A and B are shown apart, each in its own frame.
Chain A
Amino acid sequence: MMNHIRSENQLDRGRPISEGRLMEIRREGESRVQRVPGADSISAGLSARADAESGYYGLPLLKPPRWKWEVPAYLFTGGAAGASAVIAAMARLSGTDPLLARDAQHLATAGALVSPILLSSDLGRPTRFLNMLRVFKPQSPMSVGTWILTGFSASSTAVSVLDLRSNHSRAGDKGLAIVQHATLGFAALMGLGLSTYTGVLIGATAIPVWHENVGMLPYHFGASALGSAVGLLELAGHQASKPLGLLGIGAACAETVAGARIEIKSDRALKPLKSGKSGWLTRLGGLLSGPVPLVLRLLAGRRSSSNNQKLRRIAAASCVAGAVLTRAAWISAGSASTKDAAVSLGLANRSSK
């Protein structure tokens, strides 16, 4: 009925109001409107629609992660410390390189002390961090992870304290040695969990780019953790260590495979890993932790000439930088993923079927 009304005080005298005219007014408005920078994400355009194809005006269904810089930083420090504890235990048990065993233990303990501080400072109520320890929930990766981190921090610190003690006590104290080895083994076990569980932590969420990769993330994060632990130890002066060289090659191989898998899979949900800011971060992080150190390490070979050691130090720095970027990239990709309502509403699959 509306389209037949013609009224004197109508703005648009003589023309019937119709859906067509409404669209015209909107287009006119859009051409005149002054765009506030950054406002586009809220108002995707005045003519955005709410229907079966675009969802609700294309507005995001999901919430982005609210974590600040501390969480990606923790993913790095926790991972590096965890893998370092495994290296420390092996170096000590094999007895070949006591210096490496000592430095790896220092690195593990440093990470064990820094990580809980980073996690607590990201909490909205940091003074309530102990509330995490009032329950154990196997169905919550955050709860399981909290207990892994608690176990790791306690045992890794204990190893370092016991080491200080044994330096002062006489050799051959059997009781102390048994406690030391048990603690060392426990710390390494927790370290294995710490360097891989973070993949489950972000994988078991509602965010598409994360849960689509839940089967790959623990490998990816584990390799990244190993790469960064090896890199940090090499930078600390162990660039001639043969076991570290082998581990570095292994980690770089795994990271190259992880990067290639992301590039090969064509899935709308994986778009944040390939385009935009998070895409560039992912690719740069992937290159620096995969192909670049792999080539450098293979060039360096097994001989420890000073030139080769220099190559390994460059590879080590690249690994560490790559690991930091990779962790930041995944959090940033999660954020970008929540903006794509078509994926979270299942519209992307619908149209391709």
Chain B
Amino acid sequence: MSVTGFLTDSTLCIGCKACEVACKEWNQISDDGLMWSGHSYDNTLAFGAETWRHVKFVESTPIPGLGGNSPESVAWSFSSDVCKHCEKAGCLEACPTGAIVRTEFGGVFIQPDICNGCAYCVVTCPFGVVDRNERDGRAFKCTFCYDRQHAGLEPACAKACPTKSIQFGELESLRRAADQRLNELEARGVQDAHIYDPRDTSIEGTHSIFIVRADPVAYNLPPAPEVPTVYLRRGWTAAAVAAGMLLAGTVLAFLGGQQ
């Protein structure tokens, strides 16, 4: 089976949240409760153990001359966020039970029958995706619809998306499609579109690529996400030296304390 991915194109997203609903319906996860955030139409706010797709609503001052907007109006762009399924995934590296695995489709999957809810993946995800469900006890995140992919179906969110803002397919062809789309947008005068696919950091790329307008930071997409294993060398070196000092100190104290 080929390596698959998501291409989420925010220039096509209409903010309908059908992906959020489809995800919840297919995976049978409960609602997030009803509350008004005051942040545009985003009342989902963040990923969670029971929120695996999250449509972001970014209100910004438009560039004059694009799409007939005047600077006095608000430009509204939407982007459906999802687990990045990193090439080097912090959660997968950190999982002490081996519950988190890479599937044959290239996605990162938490096996619910293995996970014991230690919550270490929660603090090792550089995108704030994974969370522990305090009622259930285990950690959850987007499964990349592993079950549907097994049956040859596309993930529920991509299936439900009415504008093809969420595209699913073979990763490399999606990368080519993203480049093509960017050229197309530029030709139409959309100069501020960017592809978000951080391949030059330690996570070595993702399986969820995004096309967003303006700075990806406005969508809480970090410019330089790092897999926490990059800190291991410094940490273990310090631990070894600290342990050596502790041992030497104790030996010296007992030698010195004898007199």
Contact = CB atoms under 8 A, between A and B. Distances in A.
A205 B96 CA distance: 14
A240 to B, nearest CB: 11
Interface residues of B, number: 89
A169 to B, nearest CB: 27
Contacts of A171: none
Contact of B39 (A43, A246, A344): A43
B234 interface: yes
A140 B116 contact: no
B238 A218 contact: yes
A45 B38 CA distance: 8
A241 B254 CA distance: 10
B219 A66 contact: no
A339 to B, nearest CB: 11
Given A42-B37, A87-B250, A204-B235, A52 B126 contact: no
Contacts of B37: 42-43
A101 B220 CA distance: 55
Nearest to A26: B38
Contact of B253 (A211, A246, A344): A246
Contact of A243 (B57, B94, B257): B257
B200 interface: no
Interface string A301-342: 000000000000000000000000000000000100010010
B45 interface: yes
A52 B232 CA distance: 31
A247 B217 contact: no
A93 B214 CA distance: 67
B45 A59 contact: yes
Contacts of A59: 39, 45-46, 220
A202 B235 CA distance: 10
A195 B122 contact: no
A346 B222 contact: yes
A96 interface: yes
A124 B135 CA distance: 9
B132 A124 contact: yes
Given A66-B131, A199-B235, A132 B122 contact: no
A125 interface: yes
Given A46-B38, A243-B257, A140 B99 contact: no
A158 interface: no
Contacts of A67: 119
B33 to A, nearest CB: 11
B138 interface: yes
Interface residues of A, number: 94
Interface in B203-234: 214-215, 217-220, 222-224, 226, 228-229, 231-232, 234
Contact of B118 (A132, A219, A222): A132
B242 interface: yes
Nearest to A247: B253
Contacts of A210: 123
Nearest to A4: B70
Nearest to A137: B96
A204 B128 contact: no
B94 A2 contact: no
B178 interface: no
Contacts of A19: 61, 71-74
Interface of A: 1-3, 18-20, 22, 42-43, 45-46, 48-52, 55-57, 59-63, 65-67, 83, 86-87, 90-91, 93-94, 96, 122-126, 128-129, 131-132, 134-135, 137, 139-143, 146, 192-193, 195-197, 199-200, 202-207, 210-211, 214-219, 221-223, 225-226, 241-247, 250, 334, 338, 341, 344-347
Closest 5 CB pairs of A and B: A124-B117, A124-B137, A243-B257, A242-B257, A128-B116
12 contacts: A1-B68, A19-B73, A19-B74, A45-B38, A50-B60, A51-B58, A60-B128, A140-B96, A192-B247, A225-B246, A243-B256, A247-B253
